[in-house]
Amino acid sequence: MLRSATTWILVGQRLGIALVTLLIVSFAVFFATELLPGDVAEILLGQAATPEAVAGLRTAMGLDEPAIWRFLSWLGGLTQGDLGMSYVNRMAVADLLSGRLANTLRLAGIVTLVCVPVALCLGIAAAMWRGSWLDRLVSVLTISVISVPEFMVATLAVLVFAVWLDWLPALSFGVNVDSIGDMLRAYAMPVISLSFVVSAQMIRMTRAAVIETINTPYVEMALLKGASRTRMVLGHALPNALGPIANAVALSLSYLVGGVIIVETVFNYPGVAKLMVDAVSTRDLPLIQSCAMIFCISYLALITLADMIALLSNPRLRR
Amino acid sequence: MSLALRLPTPARLGYSFNRVGRLGLAVILFWAVIAVIGPWIAPYPPGDMVDYDYFGPMSQQFWLGSDYLGRDILSRIIMGTRYTVGIALAAVILACAGGVILGMIAAVVGGWFDTLLSRFLDAFNGIPHLLFGLVVVAAVGSSIPVLILTLAAMYLPGSYRFARALAVNVNTMDFVTVARARGEGFGHIIGREILPNILGPVLADLGLRFVFIVLVLSGLSFLGLGVQPPNADWGALVRENIEGLSLGAPAVIFPSIAIASLTISVNLFIDNLPTRIRDRSE
C-alpha cells in the first residue's frame, strides 16, 4: 500500500503531540510529588533528629535549591537515563527499577499474547452473530467479570486452582524456578486472573465497535448486494472498526502496567505498581517520580500507537 | 416547566423496564433500604464478639456464620452496606455533578477554555485510578471524607468528557440558538435548555460510574487503605476474613457475594434501560 506524504506528516504530528504531552506530564509529576505531605529529611532521620541535622541533610540532598532548578536537572538526568538516587536505601533508582520493570513487562507481555487474539476473536464473533447464544453467553460472562472486584477474581482463582484442585502454587514468587514447567506454573495464576479482567473489557469494546459499523448504511448495502455475513463483517465492517478496536486494546493494555496492583499484592508478584506504593509510604520521591513516569510513558505510547493505527486504517482521518 | 417535573419517570415517558432490568432495580432498592434501616434490623451489634468459635459455619443463631473474631457476619454486612453504598453514592454524585456542570460550561463557552480544560482532564485521566487512590490515601491518611473526595476526583474527568460530548451536540440545536437569540442568560441555557436534554444518558453514565467506584473502594479496602477498623465496608470484610478462605468460611464468601450482587445488578439495570433514556440525544 502506498501512503502519501501527508500520512507520514500526520504520523509525525502525533508523535510530536505525544512528546509535548510527555513534557507537560513530567512537569506535573514532579510538582505533584513535591506536594506530598511530610518532609523527606525529617522522615529519613527519624523523630529524634535535631533541627541542625535535618537542615544539613536537606542541603546535602539539594532540597534547598529552587524547585524549578531541581526539575530541570531531574529532567536532564532523565533524558540521559539517570533516574537519580533513591532517598531511602541509597541505591540508583535505575537499578531498583530495572528488575521490577522486567517483571511487570514480562507479565504484561504474556497476558497480551494470551488475551488479545482471544478477546478480538470473541468480540468480533459476538458482534457477527449478534443475539445468538454465543453472544449472550459472552455478554453475561464479560458483564460478570467487569462487575466483580479484581481481588475476587484473583481469590477465586486461588480457591479453585490452588486450594480445591491443588494444581498450582498460590504464590507466584518464592517458588524455585528451575525448568520451563516451573515457570509456567509460577506465572499461571496471575496470568489467568489478569487475562479474565483485561479481556472482558476488550471483548465488550470490540463488540460495540463492530456493531456500530455494522449498523451503517454501507454495510447494509453490502448485505443487500448479497454478501455473506462473514464477508459483510470481515470484509466490509471490520476495516472501519479497526481504529476504535485499536483504541480499546490500547486502553486495556495500559492497565497492565499500572493497574495491576491488586493482582501483584494477592500473588506477591514483585512489579512496578507495588514498588510505587511502597515508595509513597517511605516518601522516596525519586522512586515515585520514576514509577509515575513509567506509567505515563506506557499509557501515552499505547494511545499514540492506537491513534496511528486508526490514522493508517482510515483514509478519512487523513484529509 | 420545572426541572423536577421533567425527571424521566417511566409512567410519564411511556415506557417500561424489561424483566432483567426490573430484577436489577429490585436488588438495588433492596441494598438501598438495608443501608437506611441497617441499625434497626442487625441481629447483633456489629462490633461485638458473640460467637465462641471463629469462622463459624452458618447456623440458626448466626445466619451467615461468624468472622475471625467470632463477630456476626450478617450484622457486619448490614452495617458494611452503609459504608460501601454511602461512600460510593456520595463520591459518584460529587463526580457526576462536577463533571456535568464543567462539561456543559465547556460546551457552551467553547474556545480556549474548552480546549484547555479538556486537555488537562484527559491527561489526568491517564493515571491509573486505583494507583492514584492508593497514592493519595497513603500520603494523606485514610478517612471517609478523604475517600469520598479521592474517588470523586478520579471519576470526574470521565464524567466531564461524557457530558461535554452530549452537551456539544445539544448546544448546536435550533432551540438553543433560539433561546440565545431571545436573550436568555448563561444559567438559563445550561440549566433549562441543555441539562434536561442530556439528563437521561447522564443518569445512565452515573450508574456505570457508581459500579466503578464501588469496585475501586472495595479494592482500596481490600488492600487495607479504605475504611479503617473497627468499621468495615464489604471490601474490608473480605480482607479481614481472607484467612478463612482455605477453610471455606462463609465469612469471606458472603461479603464478596454482596459486592457482586450490587455491581452486577446496577450493570444489568443500566444495560436494560430502554433506549429512549439511554440515547435521548440521538
Q: What 3 state SS string does A131-185 have?
A: CCHHHHHHHHHHHHHHHCCHHHHHHHHHHHHHHHCCCCCCCCCCCCCCCHHHHHH
Count of pairs with CB atoms under 8 A, one residue in A, one in B: 96
CA-based diameter of chain B, in Å? Answer: 75
Q: In whole angstroms, what is the distance from residue B191 CA to residue B170 CA?
A: 13
Question: pLDDT per residue over B254-263, tens digit each?
Answer: 888 889 899 9
Using CB atoms, pick whichever of A24, A261, A292 lies closest to residue B123. A24
A148 — contact with chain B (CB < 8 Å)? yes
Inter-chain CB proximity B126 and A151 less than 8 Å: no
* Closest-CA residue of chain A to B266: A147
In a domain, B241, yes or no: yes
- pLDDT for res A104: 87
CA dihedral of B186, B192, B196, B197, whole degrees rounded to 10: -60
Inter-chain CB proximity A148 and B222 less than 8 Å: no
Q: What amino acid occupies position A145? A: V
Residues in Cβ contact with B29 at an 8 Å cutoff, skipping those fewer than 6 apart: none
Contacts of A155 in chain B (CB under 8 A): 238, 242, 245, 252, 256
Backbone angles phi, psi at B132, to 5 degrees: -60, -45
In a domain, B8, yes or no: no
- Left (φ > 0), alpha (ψ -120 to 50) or beta: where does A64 sit? alpha
Residues of chain A with pLDDT under 50: 1
Q: In whole angstroms, what is the distance from residue B280 CA to residue B124 CA?
A: 29
In a domain, B166, yes or no: yes
In a domain, B83, yes or no: yes
* Closest-CA residue of chain A to B263: A147
- pLDDT for res B1: 46
A280 — contact with chain B (CB < 8 Å)? yes
Contacts of B259 in chain A (CB under 8 A): 148-149, 152
In a domain, B9, yes or no: no
In a domain, B4, yes or no: no
Residue B125 has pLDDT above 60, yes or no: yes
Chain B nearest-CA distance from A140, in A, is 10
Q: Which cell numbers in the block locate residue B227?
A: 475504611
Domain count, chain B: 1
- pLDDT for res B281: 41
- pLDDT for res B90: 93
A184 — contact with chain B (CB < 8 Å)? no
Inter-chain CB proximity B134 and A277 less than 8 Å: yes
A281 — contact with chain B (CB < 8 Å)? yes
Confidence of residue B249 (pLDDT cuts 50, 70, 90): low
Inter-chain CB proximity A300 and B138 less than 8 Å: no
Share above pLDDT 70 across residues of chain B, in percent, rounded to a whole number: 88
Q: What is the mean pLDDT of chain B?
A: 81
Instruction: Considering only residues B70 and A172, tell me which one the structure prediction assigns the higher pLDDT.
Output: B70
In a domain, B146, yes or no: yes
Using CB atoms, pick whichever of B128, B134, B219 lies closest to residue A150. B219
Q: What is the ipTM of this complex?
A: 0.72
To probe the interface with B, which of A277, A281, A282, A294 has the most B CB atoms within 10 Å? A277
Q: In whole angstroms, what is the distance from residue B212 CA to residue B220 CA?
A: 12
User: What's the average model confidence in pLDDT over B168-195?
Assistant: 87
Structural domain span for residue B156: 46-278
Question: pLDDT per residue over A34-59, tens digit each?
Answer: 766 666 676 667 667 777 777 777 77
- pLDDT for res B101: 93
Contacts of A32 in chain B (CB under 8 A): none
In a domain, B39, yes or no: no
Q: Please report, for the domain that includes residue B207, its CATH number.
A: 1.10.3720.10
CA dihedral of B222, B228, B229, B234, whole degrees rounded to 10: -40
